[in-house]
């Protein structure tokens, strides 16, 4: 990737973040294909991270997730296991219900920021939401890079590590601007 392009994208995401953090609260939606591995891991872990880092921030940030390709009924065992290792309460994991965009066509109406795991998800988001939709790693680091779907491209840990590191940086970004 051209270094200048990464810097340009990063400054665009920083400007967007400054714009939305000027509000009293913000809503973020993490998106993947089936809402059973990457996006629920991101939703639940990010929710936990901001609660543990900054309780006033946690009161101002709403986090959710969804899938744009597959309908599912429960979080993957791999995601649940990894979240338990991160110190997430079993009850919170059990409360999670996957959301499939065609079943929840208004899921993006009330969110300020949509963060997708891979470039193909960008094409699945309706055009009226494009201005608030970003590739996760591009938004955080300015890198046009996917978080691989471990369902098709194991190991799971690789994707979980990528997401966790991005969320740690995102938490710092929010604390610095919100």
Sequential DSSP letters for 69-137: S---SS--HHHHHHHHHTT--HHHHHH----BGGGSTTTTTT-SEEEESSHHHHHHS-GGGGGGEEEHH
Domain of 160, in residue numbers: 3-177
Q: How many domains does the chain have?
A: 1
Q: What is the pLDDT along the chain (178 residues), one digit of tens a residue?
A: 444 444 455 667 888 888 887 788 999 999 999 999 999 999 999 999 999 998 888 999 999 999 999 999 999 999 999 999 999 999 999 999 999 999 998 999 999 999 999 999 999 999 999 999 999 999 999 999 999 999 998 899 999 999 999 999 999 999 877 7
Query: Which helix (H) or strand (E) segment is 123 a member of?
Result: helix 119-124
Q: Please identify which residue in the block is written with the tokens 């990894």.
A: 82
Whole-prediction pTM: 0.92
CATH of the domain at 45: 3.40.50.2300
Q: Give backbone dihedrals phi and psi of 133, rounded to 5 degrees, phi first.
A: -115, 130
């Amino acid at each position: 990737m051209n270094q200048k392009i990464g810097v340009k994208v990063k400054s665009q995401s920083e400007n967007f973040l400054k714009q939305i953090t000027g509000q009293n609260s913000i809503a973020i939606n993490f998106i993947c294909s089936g809402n059973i591995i990457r996006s629920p891991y991101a939703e639940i872990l990010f929710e936990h991270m901001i609660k543990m880092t900054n309780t006033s921030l946690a009161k101002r940030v709403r986090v959710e997730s969804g899938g744009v390709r597959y309908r599912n009924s429960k979080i993957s065992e791999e995601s649940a296991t990894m979240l338990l290792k991160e110190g997430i309460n079993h009850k919170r994991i059990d409360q999670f219900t996957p959301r499939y965009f065609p079943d929840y066509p208004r899921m993006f109406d009330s969110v300020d920021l949509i963060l997708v795991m891979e470039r193909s998800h960008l094409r699945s988001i309706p055009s009226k939401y494009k201005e608030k939709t970003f590739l996760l790693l591009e938004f955080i680091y300015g890198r046009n890079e996917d978080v691989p779907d471990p369902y098709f491209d194991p190991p799971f840990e690789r994707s979980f590590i990528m997401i966790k590191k991005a969320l740690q940086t995102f938490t710092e970004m929010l604390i610095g601007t919100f």
